Amino acid sequence: MNIALIAHDKKKEDMINFSLAYSHILEEHQLYATGTTGKLITKATGLNIFRFKSGPLGGDQQIGAMIATNEMDMIIFFRDPLTAQPHEPDVSALMRLCDVYQIPLATNIAASEIFLLGLERGDLKWREVIKERQQKEGNR
């Protein structure tokens, strides 16, 4: 599965620790991240991560484009709800796209843990069915 990892500045350390704790699950999937977050996770864990631009420079929108084309399966986004973000409209747009396209979105450690444990159990196989169906419809 394609999984995006995003973290606001004050949540980056949480994302690094989370990625360390669940590297055994994450390493089985294709990982994407916004710039600095991806760099920090790779440095700490050795995980192979495709890095987009940083969030404020368009990284959130690049991930949004993957959602809109059914290329992203899950978003783990550690948001900082207590600090104003200059790119909040991009964050809102990303969250909206997850709702429109039924992409699982976890915005905190608790939900992210549930997502990854469910992924490990096979609870997200429905994403593969949707992708296959859309590919068949696209080939008509």
Residues recognised as catalytic: 60
Which residue has 């419809």 as its token pair?
A: 137
Q: Give Cα separations from 89 to 86, 96, 135 (angstroms).
A: 8, 10, 31
Burial of 11 (0-12, 13-18, 19+ CB in 10 A): buried
The full 3-state SS of 13-36, as one line of letters, equals HHHHHHHHHCHHHHCCCEEEECHH
Any idea which residue has 């949004």 for tokens? Answer: 64
